[in-house]
Amino acid sequence: MNIRPGDEVICIDDTTLPEQYLGIRAGEVYRATWVGMCRTYLGGDYAGIRLAGVNRGVCPQFGEEDPPFAARRFRPVVKPTVEEEKKVEETV
């Protein structure tokens, strides 16, 4: 996993069941505050991520406080280097 605490990430998957609300939106940029392995009763082990400014409260199914999101829902934000910016400017 290439995401570390402090990294900016972009949400690529905000799909849920109709009765669920995640509090994240596809295309939005967030900052990771925690990244690590998690375990759920039904889903087993997964890579999880917590985000600055997003507190999920208590999970209604399992009672966990602020459960992490699945890291598969996010990708690191890649910012262009100065060289890449120059190439774009020169070709325009």
Label residue 55 by pLDDT band (50, 70, 90). confident
Do 21 and 2 meet the contact criterion of CB atoms below 8 Å apart?
Answer: no
**Residue 73 dihedral angles phi and psi, to the nearest 5°:** -80, -5
Residues 6 or more apart whose CB falls under 8 angstroms from that of 64 comprise 58
Name the token pair of 63.
Answer: 């009672």
Do 7 and 77 meet the contact criterion of CB atoms below 8 Å apart?
Answer: yes
Q: Is the pLDDT of residue 34 over 90?
A: yes
Q: What is the pLDDT of residues 66-83, one digit of tens each?
A: 889 999 999 999 887 776
Label residue 37 by pLDDT band (50, 70, 90). very high
pTM attached to this predicted model: 0.76
d(CA 16, CA 13): 9
